[in-house]
Structure 1
């Protein structure tokens, strides 16, 4: 069922309105563009020059959308846990200003949280940039009008959307879901104090924090307007386990693809992590072979053909298995080295060409 695309998630103004709407936006934003080689190149731009392009980057969940059918392996469908409980169970709140990292947690106790953007607390910004035209394709009205009138009759009777106007339903669902996570994270004054201390909430121009009473009114409005069909599917789930997201991402893409986030930053950590699980598997194989040696020393199993064959198979596995696994790790390291060298040589060549121009 389509939702009312013109209804704002809140009307409470928790921050003073800015005289210049561009003051709601960050100073700059980073985005990636595809280059001829197939790799991505990072760029920096002014968000006020193209707000639509900025929002496409700021509210992008493209990487998670590619594995959305498997997110059940990484997190349950439930509201996010309050901040004070996150701290109580030993999680360290780490600021990560990327919405695709919001509420991902790692095995070392980190919980990545995206600070709440200033522009998402402005009803005027929502009205201008996150609501659709009255007769956008995401509106309930379109279906009812088309069922009763012909297209020419509808066009003559109702206003048409401005040229080059795109539907904002996807961005709106991401923004609504993101707001809802904050309504869940900051439930009590204890949560509010943690959020203020961690700088998770935007501040006034004089650096004074949002008032608790204003936050109460805002959260109650957000909860009253909330519905699972109004938010992006990612925000139906609470915290997601980063290690499982990395496994799903690598399995879904390719065995040698990069991790979703938090890959190896140097070759020493790469070999340490990979050789650790190879050593664990090898130790387990040694334990099995030791038990088989004891079995072969008994008269009952010496004449058992099946046990003899199993012992032979495990012996070969113990010899060849670690060799093959170490070879795969070395191959992966070689592939990464070649990729790094290509980037270095390309950048060096570009720098030389720029200097001589």
Structure 2
């Protein structure tokens, strides 16, 4: 077995360079036609020069569309639905996990540094498999739910890896030529280092996570039921693919993104980490403090219900304690006891005021969420209206009125 070469950290003053990682499998499930081979295109697409010829062959492996927050002209973070082109920006959005990488040193609080357990185990523990195309919540769980991102078709094509994930310009340890080209074009660009190695690590980590999730044929059938694998993948094909992906294990972990050193991560713990770090560079500011990593609630009613649950339990205990004190005060041994009378007096005041203070705190907390969501929505509406105006669209007649009734996760 071959031992993967770990990525050496550049020394001070040296020019950073990427390394050439090999394609992690030999079986080609989705073999695309050669770029040089003649392909008959529909007449309506012959004049479309926006796509590179090398990318056109991969369109059958891509999603129907892509949603992203893009900068359009002078308007940043605009939600745009556009064509899913296998460009670096799209792959970064689909595969990279920057939020988890920022809090990597705290991930031990949310999960153990070990591979995820198989899908059959997840179902046996009462976790419903929930499909999510958001890589940020892949293998994140909460009670009764495990989020998993399906394996993208393009990650099962060797030609796609050659074109977009493996740096083919590494020569004799001299570094990546695409790095040198970017440096020559703009030496001050902080992002001039080739991003293919990092995309490679994210893509390989995603595939490697599924070798742990799908170990047995029963796991494979569960994955097919939830459409976690493309329809064309069969059991024997998956066995061969897993064999290739696991070459050099566990040394192959040097070629994955550090997020995949951890398996299942608990959503509630991730929320606590993000909120705790919201005041530092690793957090997400006010948005991180309010929503955490993955906001738990869909409506304010659900949020209030969760907050009131411990209050209801505490109220039952307070009622039992007051009843016990009342019985104690009726006995000869305690009715004249000064300390017990003082304790009963203090606890009675607490039983009256405590729930009111807690309920007031819950009301204020929910009110803060209402105000935060309202102003966030209004700010986004103003920005979006200006953007629509730049497109020649009249915002007042084309933007629906905003009614803030439910929690919005994305802000």
TM range (shorter): 0.7 to 0.9
Deviations 1:51-95 (A, max 9, x none): 111011111312223332332222222222222333333332221
Match of 2:131 among 95, 102, 106: 95
Q: Match of 1:47, SS? A: coil
Q: How does 1:343-354 map to 2 (within 5 A)?
A: 343=376, 345=378, 347=381, 350=385, 354=393
Partner of 2:276: 251
* 1:132 and 1:167 in contact (8 A); partners too: no
1:23 to partner: Cα distance: 2.8
- Separation in structure 2 between the aligned mates of residue 9 and residue 334 of structure 1, nearest angstrom: 51
1:222 to partner: Cα distance: 0.6
- Separation in structure 2 between the aligned mates of residue 160 and residue 244 of structure 1, nearest angstrom: 38
Match of 2:29 among 11, 14, 19: 14
1:279 to partner: Cα distance: 2.0
1:328 to partner: Cα distance: 2.4
CA RMSD of aligned residues (A): 3.6
Partner of 1:69: 105
- Separation in structure 2 between the aligned mates of residue 33 and residue 278 of structure 1, nearest angstrom: 43
* 1:14 and 1:218 in contact (8 A); partners too: no
- Separation in structure 2 between the aligned mates of residue 141 and residue 320 of structure 1, nearest angstrom: 72
Match of 2:199 among 129, 154, 171: 171
Establish whether residue 185 from structure 1 lines up as the match of residue 216 from structure 2.
no
Q: Match of 1:238, SS? A: coil
- Separation in structure 1 between the aligned mates of residue 81 and residue 268 of structure 2, nearest angstrom: 29
Match of 1:45 among 68, 82, 87: 82
Cα gap change, 1:127 to 1:223, in 2 (>3 Å): same
Cα gap change, 1:311 to 1:133, in 2 (>3 Å): farther
Match of 1:2 among 1, 7, 27: 7
- Separation in structure 2 between the aligned mates of residue 58 and residue 200 of structure 1, nearest angstrom: 15
- Separation in structure 1 between the aligned mates of residue 374 and residue 367 of structure 2, nearest angstrom: 10
Partner of 1:241: 266
Establish whether residue 82 from structure 1 lines up as the match of residue 110 from structure 2.
no
* 2:274 and 2:289 in contact (8 A); partners too: no
Partner of 2:62: 25
- Separation in structure 2 between the aligned mates of residue 248 and residue 294 of structure 1, nearest angstrom: 46
- Separation in structure 1 between the aligned mates of residue 33 and residue 292 of structure 2, nearest angstrom: 40
- Separation in structure 2 between the aligned mates of residue 311 and residue 60 of structure 1, nearest angstrom: 58
* 2:205 and 2:257 in contact (8 A); partners too: yes
1:262 to partner: Cα distance: 4.5
Cα gap change, 1:91 to 1:2, in 2 (>3 Å): same
Establish whether residue 131 from structure 1 lines up as the match of residue 160 from structure 2.
no
Partner of 1:151: none
1:178 to partner: Cα distance: 0.9
Q: Which runs of 5+ in 2 are unaligned?
A: 1-5, 9-18, 35-56, 183-191, 279-285, 397-411
Partner of 1:60: 96
- Separation in structure 1 between the aligned mates of residue 102 and residue 76 of structure 2, nearest angstrom: 18
* 2:20 and 2:170 in contact (8 A); partners too: no
Q: Which runs of 5+ in 1 are unaligned?
A: 146-154, 204-208
Deviations 1:6-30 (A, max 9, x none): 2221121122325612332222222
- Separation in structure 1 between the aligned mates of residue 173 and residue 137 of structure 2, nearest angstrom: 35
TM value normalised by structure 2: 0.68
Cα gap change, 1:106 to 1:350, in 2 (>3 Å): same
- Separation in structure 2 between the aligned mates of residue 189 and residue 58 of structure 1, nearest angstrom: 28
Cα gap change, 1:47 to 1:313, in 2 (>3 Å): farther
Establish whether residue 195 from structure 1 lines up as the match of residue 223 from structure 2.
yes
* 1:14 and 1:215 in contact (8 A); partners too: no
Cα gap change, 1:123 to 1:225, in 2 (>3 Å): farther
Match of 1:213 among 236, 240, 260: 236
- Separation in structure 2 between the aligned mates of residue 294 and residue 73 of structure 1, nearest angstrom: 45
* 2:300 and 2:366 in contact (8 A); partners too: yes
Structure with greater proportional helix content: 1
Alignment length (residue pairs)? 331
Cα gap change, 1:119 to 1:228, in 2 (>3 Å): same
More displaced 10-residue stretch of structure 1: 59-68 or 338-347: 338-347
More displaced 10-residue stretch of structure 1: 343-352 or 219-228: 343-352
